[in-house]
Amino acid sequence: MPYVNVQIIKGATREQKAAVVKDITDSLVRVLGKNPEHTHVVIQEIDEADWGFAGMLTDDWKRQQRQS
């Protein structure tokens, strides 16, 4: 039973999340032969202030990019 956890920054629409779940499920079926009825995909949305990369919080990084 595959379990896939996808973490993204908040802001995706319901339609976008549905497409991600479908694409991941289809990939597991195609590549690994998994049963789609046993495949679980969980999407966790994270606030920009709670996600960091490049040594900065995402909201700060975006602000810096806009100012550049």
Active site amino acids: 2
Beta strands per DSSP E along 1-68: 3-9, 40-46, 52-53, 56-57
Residue type, 13: T
Q: Give the number of other Cβ atoms within 10 Å of residue 10's Cβ.
A: 11
In contact, 13 and 36? CB cutoff 8 Å: no
